[in-house]
Amino acid sequence: MSQKPAPDADPYFPGNGDSRYHVHRYELALDYRPASNRLKGSARLSAVAGPEPLREFALDLAPGFRLGSVVVDGRDAHYTYRAGKLRVRPAKAPAAGAAFTAQVRYTGNPQPVRSQWGGLGWEELTDGSLVASQPVGAPSWYPCNDRPADKASYQIAVTAPSPYTVVVGGRLLTRTARAGSTTWLWEQPAPTSSYLVTVSIGRYESVRLTADPAGPQPRRPVPQTVYVPARLRSRAVADFTRQTAMMDFFEEVFGAYPFDEYAVVVVDEELDVPVEAQGLATFGANHVDGARGAERLVAHELAHQWFGNSLSIADWRHIWLNEGFAKYAEWLWSEHSGGPDAAAHAATAHAALTRQRQDLRLDDPGRRLMFDDRLYERGGLVVHAVRDALGDDAFFRMLKAWTVVHRHGVVTTADVTAHVQRYAARPLDALLHGWLHRTALPPLPGGGDPR
């Protein structure tokens, strides 16, 4: 497993996160009332101080909450809370490299964090809520060290009125009903970036997906569940019915699924795009039509469990590692399932990019362009260019080794270029430099330049 320190400050979001310590576990206990959007929370962090005594540290927590207490190693701590930062001074500073615990109790009405992409994080729905935090929305609902490289395990207990279902990425341990409320206890033992933690609360039915009995049976079926409003159940079952076969194929080409289970939530509202989280993806009602019209998105979100979730980026400059590989997974699934092959998708993407601005550098797109559609398409194209250069045998060995070697770790663009080169019969520096470090679009892989 690869685990590298991130820079002291993320170049795109320098105000988020604190590199002076590392959290290895969060235990969240939440009580949520959908009718009033009222959240009462307790967050317990188990962490380790960095190479200096930790006289002060910071947590990210969006403005608007009322703090009940802040305790470090069982003693009340001094703190200030303003502008989305909870700055904590322990009564006794943890020594360099020492383990410590911090507990924060808070209440309030969670609101999305404002950004150039709209609201991020906790979103109140017509009847329930969801969390879509990428990239910096996690502080909208819990205090955290909001850096993608600071990965931790999570235990999350959510109490809500009993008519509601609570879904968290991970494994459901217990469900306890009492006096009109139900507490759902979920565990995610795998290291998880703060923005990939989600809670979905709504009136859902659960449907367990099973493999087609007439098709090949997986050696280790991954439990897969769809949570869906009753009125959308038949459409959702039709749209996700091939997800079990998709999982089998992705395990074949990417390696074993990196988590215990996989869930999909379909909310009873429209969403601009589906949202991935660790072990879970959220789709809007507009993404289910009963005719598999959004199957490429199903493939994309599932692929993120390997690319983006298990393999997490060191900082947001490397976002193409998430989106480019997930885009290429769409093309691989199309090729495998009888649709256009990856070369055809690459040609279509390349032709579209030639007609657009050439001002995006894949390895460092800048905050303004980090979710630009061109990054997704160009990211898929560089993966296809590597496939063309290596040949299928070496490419698929490289791809599986990439996910296995760095499983549950942290990766950078430099990591993937070094990894790819190990499988090449000739140096690929010029090829990779053109795709990753220059703005001009290189020729179409394997087909010359159609211009």
Give the C-alpha separation, 87 to 80, whole Å: 5
Judged against a pLDDT cut of 50, whether residue 5 lies above it is answered with no
**CB-CB contact of 227 with 340 (8 Å):** no
Sheet holding 280-283, edge to edge: 205-209, 224-228, 262-266, 280-283, 275-277
Tell me the three state secondary structure of residue 302: helix
Given a cut of 50, is residue 3 above it in pLDDT?
A: no
What per-residue confidence (pLDDT) applies to 215?
Answer: 63
Q: Whole-structure pTM over 0.75, yes or no?
A: yes
Q: Tell me, what's the pLDDT at 9? A: 84
HSE-CB of 282 using CA atoms within 13 angstroms: 28
Single-letter amino acid, residue 338: G
Q: In the numeric block, which tokens belong to residue 172?
A: 């459901």
> Average of pLDDT values for 131-159?
98
Residue 227: its pLDDT value, please? 98
Contacts of 430 (CB under 8 A, 6+ apart): none
Residue 218 is predicted with a pLDDT of 59
CB neighbours (10 Å) of residue 392? 9
Report whether pLDDT(335) > 80. yes
For residue 275, CA distances in Å to 43, 57, 134, 281 come to: 24, 31, 8, 6
Give the start-to-end residue ranges of the domains of the chain: 21-200, 206-310, 313-436
Q: How far apart are CA 230 and CA 236, in angstroms?
A: 10
CATH architecture under which domain 206-310 falls: 2-Layer Sandwich (3.30)
Amino acid at 79: Y
Per CATH, the homologous superfamily of domain 21-200 is tricorn interacting facor f3 domain (2.60.40.1730)
Q: Are 137 and 121 in contact (CB under 8 A)?
A: yes
Sheet holding 199-202, edge to edge: 121-125, 128-132, 199-202, 165-168
Q: Are 154 and 26 in contact (CB under 8 A)?
A: yes
Q: What is the pLDDT of residue 216?
A: 61
Cα–Cα distance, 15 to 74 (Å, whole number) = 28
- Cα separation of the two ends of the chain: 42
Q: Which of 3-12, 252-261, 380-389 has the lowest mean pLDDT?
A: 3-12
| Res. 212: pLDDT tops 80 | no
Residue 219: which pLDDT band, with cuts at 50, 70 and 90? low
Give the DSSP H/E element, type plus range, for residue 235: helix 233-240
Return the CATH architecture of domain 313-436: Orthogonal Bundle (1.10)
* C-alpha 263: how far from chain center: 13
Cα–Cα dist 198/128, whole Å? 13
Whether residue 7 is predicted with pLDDT greater than 50 in this model: the reply is no
| Confidence category of residue 4, pLDDT binned at 50, 70, 90 | very low
Backbone phi, then psi, for 222, in 5-degree steps?
-85, 125
| Model confidence pLDDT, tens digit, residues 384-443 | 999 999 999 999 999 999 999 999 999 999 999 999 999 999 999 999 999 999 999 999
Query: What is the average per-residue pLDDT within 132-159?
Result: 98
And the tokens for 220?
């280790």
Share of the chain above pLDDT 90, in %: 94
Lowest mean pLDDT among 35-44, 211-220, 274-283: 211-220
Q: Is the pLDDT of residue 330 over 60?
A: yes
Report percent pLDDT > 70 for the chain.
Answer: 95
Question: Residue 96: which residues within 8 A CB-CB, separation 6 or more?
Answer: 49, 50, 51, 52, 53, 54
